[in-house]
Amino acid sequence: MNDLFRERVRAAAIAGWWTVLIGVGYLTLVWILFLAMMSARPAWYQALLGPGVSWEYVQNVAFWAVAIFKICIWLMALVSLWLTLWVRNLRGRNPGRG
C-alpha cells in the first residue's frame, strides 16, 4: 500500500512539474504578444474592443492578467516542489524497497 501511495504522489509531482513547464511556456508567449501589441497598437484591435476603450486600459488589464497568472504559476511550482520533497521523504522511510 505504501508503494502504491508513493507512486501516486510521484506521478502527481511529475504532472505538477509538466503543468508548471507548460504554464511558463504559455506565459512567455503571452508576454511576448503583450509587448508586441503594446508597441504596435494596431487600430483593428482597438476597433475589436469597441468604442471608449483606451490603450492605457488595455495595457492595465493585460498587465494584471499576466501578473496574476504568474502568481498562480509560482503557487503551482511550490506545490510541485512540496510533492517532490514528500516523495523523497517517503522513499527515505522505506530504503529496502527502492
Which amino acid would we find at residue 81?
A: L
At 78 the pLDDT is 98
Q: What pLDDT digit, counting tens, does each position of 32-79 carry?
A: 999 999 999 998 988 898 888 999 999 999 999 999 999 999 999 999
What confidence tier does 15 reach under pLDDT thresholds 50, 70, 90?
very high
pTM above 0.75, yes or no: yes
Give the chain as a 3 state SS string. Answer: CHHHHHHHHHHHHHHHHHHHHHHHHHHHHHHHHHHHHHHHCCHHHHHHHCCCCCHHHHHHHHHHHHHHHHHHHHHHHHHHHHHHHHHHHHHHHCHHHC
